Structure 1
Amino acid sequence: MIKNLPLLVLYFATLQIGCGKYTDAKPSEKDNIPSTLEDLQSILDNDPELNQRSPKAADLSADDYFLTDLNLESLNAYERRTYIWSKRELFMKGNHNDWAYAYKNVNSANVALTYLDKMKGTQEDLNNVKGQALFHRANAFLQVTFIWTLAYDEQTADTDLGIPLRLDADPNKSTKRSTLRQTYEQIINDLKTAAGLLPLVPRGITRPSKPAAYALLARAYMAMRNYKEMGKYAILSLHYKNSLKDYNTLDTNSFILFPFAPRFSNDAEIIFGSNIVHTPALNYATAKIDSSLYKSFSQNDLRKKVLFSDNSNATFGFKGNYSGTINLFSGIATNETYLMQAEYFARMDLIDSAMFVLNKLLEKRFVVNTFIPLKAGNAREALYYIHEERRKELMMRGLRWMDVKRLNKEGANIRLKRIVNGQLYELLPDDPRYALPIPEDVIEMTGIEQNRE
């Protein structure tokens, strides 16, 4: 491993670099020190780590799907307990769990940032690497925040628990949880700096870009319910990338799995490509889409064919992965930024603008000449439509868990329910279990405070 590389994943997580001299069986300590800017870029291009292992816990916990009792029994204890929001969740120990995956990405970013000042290169290339590292760190922090903290509340943000903010490659610094305000401030600062450094168009969709940083800023501000700033950065992102995919161009044959473009292609909507780590629990053949959610799609809505596979037993699986593979998409796409822009306009009481943006998106989802534009008489009605379409467009992307938490802060009164072997499990709007338990081995090693039950 690279000399002095810290255990920044907080437990058993080692940096796994997948290229060149970093994969030697027994490399010397000297050889493992990054010596060129290309070395740092290789760390940030480690696709299996940075782009294919987004945490799955948010989707496991959310209400887009349900599992049969038989399917649930086939899963491991971590997945079963997450599914029913177990109060004493024993997360998988070691370096193969959501927490470890996220902090490995933080680790990679911090190593790149630590060695960057020692590298030679054009200012443009140096800026690009720094921007990528800050983006990846912020993205990982935001994913951890969505899962392991409560919904942001401006009144309590200075006392609510945030996450550990590891900002450098010093292994000797103690681990502690920041406040929730400090957590979001760090994420936002990283992304604002990254946006000023990144290129408009990356070399590939697995690398961050300026519009990706702006879109992620909008996502962070949405979670904070700072809708004015959310709108500002959604609009900035759309200024640089605003193309939409016309679902009429897709093969709507129900037997076609994964109808979207293969991974790494220049998809019309994808701004930044990443996937959720694969789990059988969320497989299209295992996870059954909530029946009321499926029924909310009208017959002329092409998403009803494109997004779902028919299980031939009155249940449906989700196959609409923008990854174009079995792995769920966790990246950033323009349909999300359009929805954030529409919500911003509605929150600002700009009803006509909100509905114009929403209808522009929806027109691309319906059979040609069948879409009837939605109309709203007030902001509340506009938000109802926007939130309904957000649920449809962004299902199984790791975002619903955050949405439930933020909307419940505004009185949505969303209650999550599971029925397992005839027993009802329920998560009420103010339940502290919306902040999932931190892995117990992390608590034992660092002494940080566990989330309350």
Structure 2
Amino acid sequence: MNLKIYVPILMGILFVSCSKFLDLKPDAKMRVPTSLEDAEALLNDRASMNSAYSPIPEAASDNYYLEKANFDAFTNLSEKNIYIWDANVDINYTNWQSSYKVVAIANQVLDILSGLNRSDNSTKYDLIKGQALFFKAFAYQQIADAFTLPYDKSTASSQLGIVLRNSPNVDEISYRSDLETSYIEIKKLLLEGIDLLPAQATVKTLPSKAAAYALLARVALIMQDWPLAQSAAQECMAINNELIDYNQLNSASLTPFELFNKEVLFHAVTAANVTLTPSTCFVDTALYSSYNENDLRKVIYFSKESSGKAVFKGKFDGAQNSFSFCGLTMDEVYLIQAEASVRNDQLDLGLQTLNTLLRKRWIKDSYVAVKNDGPGRTMQTILEERRKSLILRNTRWMDIKRLGTEKEYAVELKRKLGDQTYILPTGDLRFAFLIPIRVVNLTNTIQQNPR
């Protein structure tokens, strides 16, 4: 697919000046992409489009803990400082670069399409455009999760958002938009792309209508747009509502889930992070204890060491490594539907959705349905089950941030290493990690997060 022709794009995501960019000249023999086939090849590059998203949202969350001896043995200072929420941690620039690489490639594809006649092959043209719009929206959401403060309707227009790039032109000056504009743009990209996508993709590394609705539901949840979250989840479930029956999985396996299993709507993974190394990343003890003995997630997601500590083995891509699955899944859609329904005063629908999901997670015929215990307690149950279902899916940080704007659901984070305790209270500026110093130094128009 001659993907090396896109080196100029990769440099663009660093937001360097024109002179710095020209210091690294592409091979003169590399062909400039101009056709639908070229655009398709760009989007099919799984290594660029589906890999190396930022692991910060999982590494900074409270699903796991490290013992001091293991923490001290790690040599990557940046990743250690993410774990303790150091206010001045200098994030590895690839945590920013990799997602903006996706944005740059998507912009390159859209630029190619703008120079073509749609009527020559409207079906393929529309498919490629829809895919590019989805990839761009997905990358933006991942960036916002790590580098912006929680979305609050009352303050979003005055908070720093992300850099919105609308061209593959490396000379385009980069500025941060406000948070409200950032999320409106993500939503706009998805709404524009949904009708162009097939109901389900032929391969799960490519976007589909179902995946776009799932992402739209997630974004609506972040924006506290409960009607949109519910309707988008329902649209997704109208296309595909298949769930895995955990009774059919091998709980003894170290890799119980298959790559591209039937609950995966869109496949994506983060970059590696040393603190998430399976052998030293222990599951939070209170979280592990919260699973009922008849809940198959307890034996499918985790294994116990001889020391009694629980380690996570239930990666949704069937791997054992320090990368996290960060794509979109059917169980997340069920949980969004359940939460949004309750928030929209449709308590019975929310409970029905939650119970449908959990029946597939418990030992057959052992599940006792969650009953109507009022909206407050029911919501708390849904949020607890959301955490228990989506562990190490790169979503917990998003949830901690958004729930921090609601006093009744806010979580104060705390870590202990030896005699040292680290606390991240609700509303702290550290919920937006600093943009990598290298990026800010190269482009002084990008405003750094406050401290």
Q: Normalization by structure 1: what TM-score? A: 0.92
Equivalence for 1:82: 82
- d(CA) in 2 for partners of 1:32, 1:409: 50
Shift of 1:10: 2.4
Q: Does 1:122 align with 2:126?
A: no
- d(CA) in 1 for partners of 2:154, 2:12: 31
Alignment of 1:8-87 (within 5 A): 8-10=12-14, 27-29=27-29, 31-75=30-74, 76-87=76-87
Greater mean deviation of Cα atoms: 214-223 or 67-76: 67-76
Equivalence for 2:384: 388
Whether contact under 8 Å (2:55, 2:324) holds in the other structure is no
Whether contact under 8 Å (2:9, 2:101) holds in the other structure is no
Equivalence for 2:130: 131
Gaps of 5+ in 1: 14-24
Q: Which amino acid aligns with 1:334?
A: M
Per-residue CA deviation, residues 373-419 of structure 1 (Å, 9 max, x unaligned), is 01123111110110010000111111111101111101123111111
Equivalence for 1:286: 280
Equivalence for 2:143: 144
- d(CA) in 2 for partners of 1:107, 1:71: 38
Equivalence for 2:301: 307
Per-residue CA deviation, residues 220-275 of structure 1 (Å, 9 max, x unaligned), is 1111111111111011111101100000000111xx211111x2x4x221111111
Per-residue CA deviation, residues 313-359 of structure 1 (Å, 9 max, x unaligned), is 12111111111112421111110000011111111221111111100
Q: Percent identity?
A: 34
Q: Does 1:340 align with 2:336?
A: yes
Shift of 1:27: 4.2
Would the alpha carbon gap of residues 338 and 3 (structure 1) be closer, same or farther in structure 2, given more than 3 Å must change? Answer: closer
Alignment of 1:419-434 (within 5 A): 419-434=416-431
Alignment of 1:40-439 (within 5 A): 40-75=39-74, 76-93=76-93, 97-119=94-116, 121-253=120-252, 256-261=253-258, 263=259, 265=260, 267-326=261-320, 327-411=323-407, 412-439=409-436
2:11 pairs with 7, 11, 30, which one?
7
Tell me the SS of whatever aligns to 2:12: coil
Shift of 1:11: 5.1
Equivalence for 1:17: none
- d(CA) in 1 for partners of 2:318, 2:381: 28
Whether contact under 8 Å (2:63, 2:283) holds in the other structure is yes
Whether contact under 8 Å (1:11, 1:100) holds in the other structure is no
- d(CA) in 2 for partners of 1:359, 1:296: 17
Tell me the SS of whatever aligns to 1:85: coil
Whether contact under 8 Å (1:285, 1:311) holds in the other structure is no
- d(CA) in 2 for partners of 1:199, 1:303: 32
- d(CA) in 2 for partners of 1:404, 1:138: 21
Q: Which amino acid aligns with 2:294?
A: N
Greater mean deviation of Cα atoms: 35-44 or 241-250: 35-44
Per-residue CA deviation, residues 191-232 of structure 1 (Å, 9 max, x unaligned), is 111101111121201100001001100101111111111111
Whether contact under 8 Å (1:6, 1:169) holds in the other structure is no
Shift of 1:190: 0.5
Would the alpha carbon gap of residues 26 and 89 (structure 1) be closer, same or farther in structure 2, given more than 3 Å must change? Answer: closer
- d(CA) in 2 for partners of 1:101, 1:251: 35
- d(CA) in 2 for partners of 1:108, 1:133: 8
Whether contact under 8 Å (1:234, 1:341) holds in the other structure is yes
Whether contact under 8 Å (1:414, 1:429) holds in the other structure is yes
Tell me the SS of whatever aligns to 1:7: helix
- d(CA) in 1 for partners of 2:283, 2:32: 48
Tell me the SS of whatever aligns to 2:149: coil
Greater mean deviation of Cα atoms: 307-316 or 60-69: 307-316
- d(CA) in 2 for partners of 1:85, 1:207: 34
Greater mean deviation of Cα atoms: 305-314 or 433-442: 305-314
Q: Which amino acid aligns with 1:87?
A: A
Relative to its length, the structure with more helix (as a share) is 2
Count of residues in correspondence between the two structures: 433
Tell me the SS of whatever aligns to 2:394: coil
Tell me the SS of whatever aligns to 1:426: strand
Would the alpha carbon gap of residues 119 and 186 (structure 1) be closer, same or farther in structure 2, given more than 3 Å must change? Answer: same
- d(CA) in 1 for partners of 2:399, 2:11: 32
Whether contact under 8 Å (2:205, 2:268) holds in the other structure is yes
- d(CA) in 2 for partners of 1:11, 1:433: 24
- d(CA) in 2 for partners of 1:35, 1:249: 47
Whether contact under 8 Å (1:284, 1:309) holds in the other structure is no
- d(CA) in 1 for partners of 2:348, 2:70: 45
- d(CA) in 2 for partners of 1:185, 1:295: 39
Greater mean deviation of Cα atoms: 277-286 or 348-357: 277-286
- d(CA) in 2 for partners of 1:54, 1:2: 19
Q: Which amino acid aligns with 2:404?
A: N
Gaps of 5+ in 2: 18-24
